[in-house]
Structure 1
C-alpha cells in the first residue's frame, strides 16, 4: 500500500516552480497531490503524479534534482476530527511522522492524508489494524 512520490529540489528563485509545472504539463503528467516546503536556500516540492518514472525523467532532463520516496495515503472522512482520529492512532502506536500533507478528493466525502513515517512497515500494519483505509497510487490517480 505504499505510494511512490517524487521530490524535486529547487532554488528559492522566481519562476522555478512555474518551470517545473510547465515541464510536467508538456509531458502530459497529471499531478494528484503536492506539497512545497522551503529553507533559506532551496525548496522541496513533493508530488504524487500519474506517471512517476516519466515525471522523474523529464524533470531530470530539465536540469532538476529528483528523488523518489515511498509514502502512505490514508483515507479519512472529510469532517471535523478526521485528522485528529488518525493522529491519535499514530501516537498510540508510537509512530513518528516525518512529514504529511493532505488533499480532498472530488466527491468531497473523504480526505486523503499523505504520510512519510520513520518506520513505514510498522505504520502500515498499525493503521490497517486500526481499520484505516490505505490507498495505492493507482487509487489516488483515479480520484
Structure 2
C-alpha cells in the first residue's frame, strides 16, 4: 500500500517555509506529516497531505516546483525499540532505507514511520511478513 507524498523544492531563505504552509492553509489543505531536508542553497519539503492534487495545483500556481513520489507508512507501537524492530526486519532482508521520517498520532499509542525504499514492493512484503501494519494515506489523514 503506497502513500502519495509531495516534494517541494524551495530556496533556503527566510520565510519560504511559511509561504508554503500559508498557501496550503489558504487552500484548505491539511498537512498530516512533513520532513525538511536542506543544503546551503535549497531545501526539500516532503509532505503527506489530505488533498494531494489540490496541494500540487496551488503550490505550482505560486511558482513552486512540486513533485510526487510514493512512500510507505508503517504503524508501530510508540515505545522504546519500536523503530529498531522495524529497521532490524529490513536489515535482515537487505533492504536499504533511502530516507524516513516519523510522527506520533493523537492517541500517543502508536507512531507512524514514513519510508522511501529503492525496492518498494519488496519492502512492503518484508514488513507485512514481519508483522508490521502498513497504512494508507486515508488512514494517516484520519489519525
> Which interval holds the TM-score relative to the shorter structure?
over 0.9
How is 1:100-119 mapped onto 2 (pairs within 5 angstroms)? 100-119=100-119
Q: Distance in 2 between matches of 1:127 and 1:21?
A: 32
How is 1:48-127 mapped onto 2 (pairs within 5 angstroms)? 48-127=48-127
Q: TM-score, normalised by structure 1?
A: 0.99
Q: Distance in 1 between matches of 2:57 and 2:93?
A: 37
Equivalent position SS for 1:86 = helix
Equivalent position SS for 2:85 = helix
Q: TM-score, normalised by structure 2?
A: 0.99
Q: Distance in 2 between matches of 1:83 and 1:127?
A: 12
Q: Distance in 2 between matches of 1:121 and 1:25?
A: 33
- Note the alpha carbon deviations across 1:12-41, whole angstroms, 9 max, x for none: 011100000110000000000000000121
Q: Aligned residue for 2:7?
A: 7
Number of residue-to-residue matches in the alignment: 143
| Runs of 4+ residues deviating >2 angstroms | none
Q: Distance in 1 between matches of 2:140 and 2:56?
A: 18
Q: Distance in 1 between matches of 2:81 and 2:130?
A: 16
Provide the aligned C-alpha RMSD in A. Answer: 0.4
Residue 141, structure 1, aligned to residue 141, structure 2:
yes
Gaps of 5+ in 1: none
Deviation at 1:136, TM superposition (A): 0.3
